[in-house]
Amino acid sequence: MTTILTRTTTGTGHERRNGKGGGTAARRGRRTAAAAVVTGIVMFAAARLPSGPGNLVNLLQTFLPWLGLSVPLLLVLAAVRRAPAAAVAALVPAVTWCFLFGGLLTDKRADGGDMTMVSQNVHDANPDPRGTARALAASGAELLALQELTSRTAPSYEKALADTYPYHAVRGTVGLWSTYPLRDPEPVAIMPWTRALRATVATPKGPLAVYVAHLASVRVSLAGGFATERRNEAAAKLAEAVRAEPLPRVVVAGDFNGTPDDTSLRPLTGELRSAQRTAGQGFGLTWPAAFPVARIDQILVRGATPTASSTLPRTGSDHLPVAASLRL
């Protein structure tokens, strides 16, 4: 007689992988999908929210474009976890990022323009101010706006730029050099010490009001968050001066220690057009010069049309120069 032996099993390895293990993968997929949706919501909301506790919203706004890096990361996680739903959910931050910043990637530069302006925070510890001056003059710009001048470095810029720019004005830590005559240069009271000036530039197309400004620095700390109060106060005072400006054509250039996405700067940026966003390509990041992560140096206009905008090669400063061609 033949005896048949049987063995009862609790499931094959294949079944186990698709049982409890499959549930774990599904849960991980849901978490990745949820993270994608939350990232998209945060990105969209942060672009519009006013300053919150510790000004952390403004800190996020300063680096907001970098949230776009979350999209490839989320797609990698979705692939690793074999979660199609998570991959689809990654479209939420992707579409949001394109809605907010996609237009900046197109090339809006054009030929022409009546004049070019270059602005740079030249750094008070610049080891080669004359070299920086020569590099800026080589741009061919009719106007140079410099910030963070000191009693030590200002004479170096004045001497190096004298042949190319016969007209200039320095007030406090900011200066304006011009190939056109300057009239009535005067400081603008945005802070207890002078960090802004205004002058009328007599261009061949008529008078142009030019403001050069260096808003207060910001600090980040665990105790105080994103400290922007002095900067915001300076921006509000500068905005008040610009609103009261009688000339129809205005340029405001300088180091704002903030980006156009920072809602705390809207009193100023809301009055003017950004040359970079109107006539540039890409984000035009300017700081720090070695590896720029934020566009904190601006050329803003009213009553003039930017035709091209770009950053210039690195000098001895920790900021990149910014340039804008303008049609008056």
- The string of DSSP codes covering 56-91 is HHHHHHHTGGGGGGHHHHHHHHHHHTT-HHHHHHTH
User: What residue ranges do the domains of the chain occupy?
Assistant: 13-102, 115-327
Cα–Cα distance measured from residue 156 to residue 249, given in angstroms and rounded to the nearest whole number: 31
C-alpha distance across the termini of the chain, in Å: 108
Per-residue pLDDT tens digits for 191-231: 999 999 999 999 999 999 999 999 999 999 887 799 999 99
Q: Give me Rg for the CA atoms of the chain.
A: 27
Query: For 55, which DSSP code?
Result: G
Per-residue pLDDT tens digits for 8-40: 444 444 444 444 555 666 676 899 999 999 999
For residue 185, the one-letter residue type is P
Q: What are the distances in angstroms from CA 291 to CA 41, 70, 275, 284?
A: 28, 20, 22, 12
Query: For 214, which DSSP code?
Result: E
Instruction: Count Cα neighbours of 156 within 13 Å in the Cβ-side half-sphere.
Output: 18
Entry pTM: 0.90
For residue 165, the one-letter residue type is Y
Cα–Cα distance measured from residue 115 to residue 137, given in angstroms and rounded to the nearest whole number: 14
Per-residue confidence of the chain (328 residues) as pLDDT tens digits?
444 444 444 444 444 444 455 566 667 689 999 999 999 999 999 998 888 788 999 999 999 999 999 999 999 999 998 899 999 999 999 999 999 999 999 999 999 999 999 999 999 999 999 999 999 999 999 999 999 999 999 999 999 999 999 999 999 999 999 999 999 999 999 999 999 999 999 999 999 999 999 999 999 988 779 999 999 999 999 999 999 999 999 999 999 999 999 999 999 999 999 999 999 999 999 999 999 999 999 999 999 999 999 999 999 999 999 999 999 9
Query: For 4, which DSSP code?
Result: P
| CATH class as words, domain 115-327 | alpha beta
